[in-house]
Structure 1
Amino acid sequence: MTARRPDEPHRSTTTLELFFDLCFVVAVAQAAGNLHHAVSEGHVGMAAGHYAMVFFAIWWAWMNFTWFASAYDTDDDVYRITTLVEISGALILAAGVPRAFTEEDFTTITFGYVVMRLAAVAHWIRAAAGDPAHRAAASRYAVGVVLVQVGWLVRLALPDGWGVVSFVVLVIAELLVPALAERPGMTPWHPRHIVERYGLFTLIVLGEVVLATSLAVQTGVDAGDTHLWSVAASGAIIVYALWWLYFDRPVEMSTQLRRSLFWGYGHYLIFSSVAAVGAGLAVEVDHERGDGHISGVTAGYAVAVPVAVYLFTLWALHVRRQQRSRLAAVFPATAVLVLLAPLGPVPVPLVAVLLFLLVAVTVLARRVNATADPTAATVSTGSDDAAS
């Protein structure tokens, strides 16, 4: 297994990577669906905590495969088989999501997660053997991942009171592995390829939101609740706006380790908040139909909170450095207004209106900037100043 060039021209996502993403969306759908049902039943705090834990397992395994494939995708038989084992682990994880939410039993999820991560170790061992220039980094990855997986298995035997503390400790350990492994010399991941992969997964998660919202509204309409069309229309505008804002400008990415990790890690909030928007819209449908056991304010916040998290994170990762002007402050300001929307009579339509206005402002700002500086560069991937 040899390294690929980080400046390789015309590098694009492979069919195996797309298949990997689509299979992982099964786990995303399970997490969002169980979040929806738990919140509708009034278990808001428990649902949020379990969702954050489950989504971390999904996102972290996806992210590590994505960055490894960017550097070492050889597309040989061994690589394909090992990747299919990772996908199998994701399916095992997805099967354990309902029990994690209803019984707080993370055994199946842990087993699926460990399968995914140990398959990744096989990748790193091959990379260490075939790429002497980056052998130190690959070896550190392999050893670090194995040690943390032992920790996850040990966690299953700990008393219930240690669950949250042990989870936080192991998450920190997982996040430290790439930061420490890349220190001897970064693996040759491809900046433009990474940006494309993250964008594609964002699209796939947005598609899952559209499906979840459509099914929820369909259930209500079939039962005779035609007034739910306003929720459907608002949900559509929200999803369209989330897509527009993420892909409004070409994404810039730094090759500095600290900034690239910040960008990569920050997408946990992007992906998880987008999926949670779908769950929130389904909660709103339940509330409108009288099937939920929560107040209208709580149902509104089921949509408003993930939308606000998305806007804050998008501002921190993309907008803050790409738009060095006062207009960049519109994103966090809109996020604050979104958080106030559930206090009004029609929270979801109000969130949709706020996002529509934010899109309008960004479009106007882009046109003004283009008129003022038509020769400005739009993409940068290697300079110290480029980071998002």
Structure 2
Amino acid sequence: MELFFDLVYVFSIIQLSHFLLAHQDWLGALEAATLFAAVWWAWNYTAWATNWLDPDHASGRALMVVLMGCALLMAVAMPEAYSSRAGLFAGAYVAMALIRAGYMAILFRGQRMGRNYAQLCAWSGISGLFWIAGALLPEQRVWLWILAVLLDYAAPYHGFWLPGKGATPMESWPLRGLHLLERNQQVFIIALGESILLLGGMLVDHALDTGIVLAATIGFCLIVSLWSIYFVQLTEEGEHRFAHGSDHTKLARAGLAYAHGVMVCGAIVVAVAIEMMVAHPLDTVHVPTALVAVAGPAIFLFGSTLFHRVMSQGMRPAYLAAVAALALWGFVAVKLHLAGLWLGAGVLVVMAVLALSGRSKGTWG
């Protein structure tokens, strides 16, 4: 049932990629980031909920189907989320949040978990006011929705504190860390799958000349490098920490809810960068293309750094050095008026070096 639920996020990630492709400016990037934050948080809270309910029970299945329908409506509304379908996007997101939290509060009524979800529901209702207000006020929409996102993401770190109720302690949210880690791995695979879908679509729609084939090869190898860094260098580290650690809830909040979201966001931006480079492999690089090409891997590596920091209490300087190298290469590509192929090749070299030289355990030299 959980895998079936994830199917709608294949479509959601495609919609996010297409939105960013259609809005290649600073405002578009800000709007896309806000949409992604909502999409990710809706998936994240649902993944956490399945730690405490049985998604294969009849009522659990019914809840998952309803939530899946809400997520589908969010994805459908995404292309016009800041125009004609703002109400549909905000309404589906708020409904998803309130239905999920309300169901869990009722299911566990009289128990500590019921109180926890009642307070989460209250926070969802507060942020929901800003989501709905943004849908009703076009001129302030993006800022109201950013405020709503900040409230949603800040809530867990404040323990869903409410006047007269206090906060919900971390130890009152016991969960199966390894199961939640597996769920995050699955959604990361979905994000990489979006890159494959976009790359394949480009090859179907274009003549396979030398430039296209070379750009596609670079794009494919870039996808492989992300997979390698994630599953070879980070996954074993996370599994080991969850298998031997006792603070699963704290680890999952920082390492999965937040750090994984950043990594998934980076993978989506990489998919957009690959499509842009494959579409115009021999054209001179302009600032938007360079920014997207550099930002995708950099966001992914920033999330990877956060994940490693949470799981091992250490840093991987090579990741931060790679971000600096990517930024420098993007600047050079624009200044020297290089073709998209050269931009992509440089990005691939940086990511391939990380993928080939990294180790699943230990530190970087």
TM-score interval w.r.t. the shorter chain? 0.7 to 0.9
- How far does the alpha carbon of each residue in 1:54-108 deviate from its partner, in whole angstroms, 9 at most, with x for none? 111110100000011112235321221111111111111111111136x485222
Report the alpha carbon displacement of residue 321 of structure 1 after superposing the two structures with TM: 5.2
Aligned equivalent of 1:315, options 290, 294, 305: 305
- Cα distance in structure 2, aligned partners of 1:303 and 1:269: 16
Counterpart Cα distance in 2 of 1:321 and 1:193: 16
* Alpha-carbon distance in 1 for matches of 2:23, 2:154: 32
Q: Which residue of 2 aligns with 1:175?
A: 153
> What is the one-letter code of the residue matched to 1:203?
I
CA spacing shift, 1:197–1:256, aligned 2, 3 Å: closer
Paired residues of 2:194 and 2:268 also in contact (CA < 8 A): yes
Match of 1:58 in 2: 39
In structure 1, the partner of 2:20 is 35
For residues 235-314 of structure 1, what are the structure 2 equivalents within 5 Å? Answer: 235-249=219-233, 250=236, 251=238, 252-253=241-242, 255=247, 258-263=250-255, 264-288=257-281, 295-314=285-304
User: Is this contact kept in 2: 1:273–1:310, CA < 8 A?
Assistant: yes
Give the CA deviation at 1:145.
2.0
Residue 70 (structure 1) aligned to one of 31, 34, 51: 51
For structure 1, the 5+ residue unaligned runs are: 1-15, 370-388
Q: CA deviation at 1:146?
A: 2.8
Distance in 1 (CA, whole Å) between partners of 2:186 and 2:85 is 32
Q: 1:151 aligns with which of 105, 116, 130?
A: 130
The CA deviation at 1:340 is 2.0
C-alpha deviation, 1:335, in angstroms: 1.5
What letter corresponds to residue 16 of structure 2 in structure 1? Answer: A
Q: CA deviation at 1:301?
A: 2.5
Higher relative contact order (CA 8 A, sep 6+): 1
Are positions 1:227 and 2:218 aligned together?
no
Shift of the 220–74 alpha-carbon distance from structure 1 to 2, 3 Å rule, reads: closer
- Identity among equivalent positions (%) equals 21
Equivalences, count: 338
Shift in Å at residue 347 of structure 1?
Answer: 0.9
1:282–1:54 CA distance, 2 compared to 1 (3 A) = same
In the alignment, the residues of structure 2 paired with residue 258 and residue 159 of structure 1 have an alpha-carbon distance, to the nearest angstrom, of 38
Secondary structure in 1 aligned to 2:108?
helix
Cα RMSD between the aligned structures?
Answer: 2.5
In the alignment, the residues of structure 2 paired with residue 80 and residue 29 of structure 1 have an alpha-carbon distance, to the nearest angstrom, of 25
- Tell me the SS of whatever aligns to 2:175: coil
Q: CA deviation at 1:157?
A: 2.5
Residue type of the alignment partner of 2:15: Q
Residue equivalent to 1:340: 328
CA distance in 1, matches of 2:309, 2:130: 37
Q: 1:63 to 1:83 in 2, by over 3 A?
A: same
TM-score w.r.t. length of structure 2: 0.84
Q: Which residue of 2 aligns with 1:212?
A: 198
- Determine whether 1:165 maps to 2:165: no
Give 1:320 shift: 7.5
Structure 1 residues 156 and 320: CA distance shift in structure 2, 3 A = closer
**1:214 positional shift:** 1.8
Distance 2:55 2:66 in 1: 16
2:352 is aligned to 356
1:158 to 1:33, Cα distance in 2 relative to 1, 3 A? closer
C-alpha contact 2:298 2:323 (8 A) present in aligned 1: yes
Whether the 8 Å contact between 1:241 and 1:356 is mirrored in structure 2 is: yes
Distance 1:159 1:297, change over 3 A: closer
Partners in 2 of 1:187 and 1:287 — Cα distance?
49
C-alpha contact 2:105 2:114 (8 A) present in aligned 1: no
Match of 2:164 in 1: none
Pairwise CA distance, 1:118: 2.5
Residue 297 and residue 148 in structure 1: after superposition, are their counterparts in 2 closer, same or farther (change >3 A)? closer
Change beyond 3 A, Cα 1:118–1:214: same
Deviation of 1:259 after TM superposition, in Å, equals: 4.6
* Maintained 8 Å contact 1:287/1:299: no
Q: Is the CA contact 1:71–1:187 (under 8 Å) kept in the aligned structure 2? A: no
For 2:274 and 2:16, locate their aligned partners in 1 and report how far apart those are by CA, in whole Å.
15
What is the rounded CA distance, in whole Å, between the counterparts of 1:169 and 1:70 in structure 2? 28
Alpha-carbon distance in 2 for matches of 1:173, 1:96: 22
Counterparts of 1:319 and 1:356 in 2: how far apart (Å)? 22
Per-residue CA distance 1:338-359 (angstroms, 9 max, x = gap): 1222223311011111111111
Question: What's the offset of the Cα at 1:281?
Answer: 1.1
Counterpart code for 2:306: A
CA distance in 1, matches of 2:282, 2:92: 36
CA-CA distance at 1:173 after TM superposition:
1.7
Q: 1:225 to 1:289 in 2, by over 3 A?
A: farther
What is the SS of the residue equivalent to 2:281? helix
Which segments of 5 or more consecutive residues in structure 2 lack a partner in the other structure? 161-166
